[in-house]
Structure 1
Amino acid sequence: MNGARETTTAEVAGPDRSAAAPTTDVPGPWGADPYSDALARGRGPLFLRRTDGWLLPLEVERWCARADAVDLQVLGRCEGAVLDVGCGPGRLVAELAARGHRVLGIDVSETAVARTLRLGGQALRRSVFEPLPGEGRWDTALLVDGNIGIGGDPAALLRRLSRLVAPGGLLLAETLPDMDVDERVSVHVVRALDAEGGAGGPAFPWARVGTPALLRHGVRAGWRPEGQWAAGGRSFAALRNRSDRAARHVRRTSSAAEPPNSTAVISSQRARKPSPGRPVADR
């Protein structure tokens, strides 16, 4: 994904505020050197590589740039307090903060979180599947730049997001353009020099999902389709959290974590970050 002031103690965007949860430090695939190195440089080339040699390019330069016109269309739909899942180097978090939203990014990459903080955004190093600030009270969740693939199980990810977003809240998700794809793969993050099968990051599960599959999974996970659109060769869908399901969870979770009042850097996610585009090659 996507100058800057260092933020050390500031109000974190979120529905409420309190102390951060304890820090953990569990290494994951997106903390591996190829990804961290690319984000530190602000450029690729970088790929997801499947065991059969299939390659998917990661759009490092776009993620490390400012939010573009397509991003701005997505951000214009955001409501209230926003949770950016797999925020990468923070271009969307920074833009939302500049627009006056309370916003928090989460990512498993220490380098990504550090870049977000340098942009003046708020971010935690944490997995979406770990306890998070403000559970059940976020107005909008973002799942862009291929992050529907996190964990290799879109249904589980969408169920988790239905518990993070408030009743009636919004999910804005990016999907594969014009493709009814619903697949699970095991991938590595690799540099161009590694792309023929050399060393890269550790293997992890990933998913690739088109809009029809996203909507199918979403309905089963407690979301109501609200719209879909395409722009700049990218595809998106909006889903609304069905209030009855989310409200039951909020009532059960009386001790849900509150958003922190500092920019603590926390821990690990199972995977994130390719562009939702087509693979470079099938080998």
Structure 2
Amino acid sequence: MSTVPATAAAWATADPYAAALRRGHGPLFLRRADGWLLPLEVERWCARADAVDREVLDRCEGTVLDVGCGPGRLVAELAARGRAVLGIDVSAAAVDRTVRLGGPALRRSVFEPLPGEGRWATVLLMDGNIGIGGDPRALLDRVAVLLRPGGLLIAETALVDVDERAQVQVVGPTATGEADAHFPWARLGTRALLRYARGWEPVGQWTTGGRCFAALRSRRSRTASSSAEAPKRTAVISSQRARNMSAGSPVADR
């Protein structure tokens, strides 16, 4: 999909985002081309997993891939529970912070080859990450390839009933309109997500703590999943330490 490299490059080089993660707080926004601002919850992302997060993590099955893991609160919480987990993010600052919290993470786009393709039991798309790439159907198709047959997707959706695609920038409080490149993003409520979820079985919807979630189970067959691209044997995390990938395990050896 042609928009994916632009999305990854723009977000990964968004200096306001990296600076906010280093500070541990905002203000930080996604700004549409028409000037509308969506506040980003940097403080919550940089904190430890809260009660709402932990409820989501309690629903995870088997090995967990956190797509767009940000500063790593969910990966760190799962790692502390002894779960097999991997976070991926296109931002070096996000991956660096995840690793410092004790969670395994790779600087990688979800649309690039990933360890354990076709073998993950659960994929997380939290904190609005259902919007990655600006094409929800393409993202859902990609997640289906990453999951094992019958695997579980847990996605956080917008509280409002919205189905929006837009070009956005990551901006801080003083950024000019030329600070960072625009990239495609999407905002979906649960009803919109379910409209795009061909080949998925809805298995749960809930709202708690002012946040909204949906759980979907992949209907992908073993025959279809067997064609997924084999994972690379090695990858480098932001600390520049190389970790070998086990052919039998979807996460980096620790």
TM-score, with length taken from structure 1: 0.78
How far the C-alpha of 1:241 sits from its partner, in A, is 0.7
Aligned counterparts of 1:29 and 1:258: Cα–Cα separation in 2: 24
Shift in alpha-carbon separation, 1:104–1:62, aligned structure 2, 3 A? same
Query: Is the aligned partner of 1:264 residue 2:237?
Result: yes
Compute the RMSD of aligned alpha carbons: 1.7
The correspondence for 1:114, drawn from 88, 96, 121, is 96
Aligned partner of residue 28 in structure 1, secondary structure: helix
Aligned counterparts of 2:19 and 2:30: Cα–Cα separation in 1: 15
Aligned counterparts of 1:204 and 1:37: Cα–Cα separation in 2: 19
Aligned counterparts of 1:258 and 1:139: Cα–Cα separation in 2: 19
How far the C-alpha of 1:263 sits from its partner, in A, is 5.3
Aligned partner of residue 78 in structure 1, secondary structure: coil
Conserved 8 A contact 2:123-2:147: yes
What is the CA deviation profile of residues 111-170 of structure 1, one whole-angstrom value per residue up to 9, with x for unaligned ones? 000000000100000000000000000000000000001000001000000000110110
What is the CA deviation profile of residues 25-84 of structure 1, one whole-angstrom value per residue up to 9, with x for unaligned ones? x84323321111111111100001111110000101100000011101100000110000
Matches within 5 A, 1:3-152: 27-152=9-134
How far the C-alpha of 1:180 sits from its partner, in A, is 2.1
Could you say which residue in structure 2 is the equivalent of 1:162?
144
Q: Which has the higher strand share?
A: 2
Query: Is the aligned partner of 1:233 residue 2:215?
Result: no
How far the C-alpha of 1:183 sits from its partner, in A, is 1.0
What is the CA deviation profile of residues 160-216 of structure 1, one whole-angstrom value per residue up to 9, with x for unaligned ones? 000001101100000011x2211100001111122xx54432100000000001111
Conserved 8 A contact 2:24-2:46: yes
Question: Greater relative contact order: 1 or 2 (C-alpha under 8 angstroms, separation 6 or more)?
Answer: 1
Aligned partner of residue 166 in structure 1, secondary structure: strand
Matches within 5 A, 1:179-198: 179-194=160-175, 197-198=176-177
Aligned partner of residue 226 in structure 2, secondary structure: helix
How far the C-alpha of 1:258 sits from its partner, in A, is 5.3
What is the CA deviation profile of residues 3-27 of structure 1, one whole-angstrom value per residue up to 9, with x for unaligned ones? xxxxxxxxxxxxxxxxxxxxxxx84
Aligned partner of residue 92 in structure 1, secondary structure: helix
Aligned counterparts of 2:193 and 2:92: Cα–Cα separation in 1: 29
Could you tell me which runs of 5 or more consecutive residues in structure 2 were left unpaired when the two chains were aligned: 1-7, 240-254
Query: Which letter does structure 2 place at the counterpart of 1:212?
Result: R
Aligned partner of residue 134 in structure 1, secondary structure: coil
Aligned counterparts of 2:124 and 2:217: Cα–Cα separation in 1: 12
Query: Is the aligned partner of 1:224 residue 2:201?
Result: yes
Aligned counterparts of 1:83 and 1:258: Cα–Cα separation in 2: 16
Query: Is the aligned partner of 1:201 residue 2:180?
Result: yes
Query: Is the aligned partner of 1:213 residue 2:187?
Result: no
How far the C-alpha of 1:264 sits from its partner, in A, is 2.8
Count residues with an aligned counterpart: 232
How far the C-alpha of 1:248 sits from its partner, in A, is 2.7
Conserved 8 A contact 2:135-2:185: yes
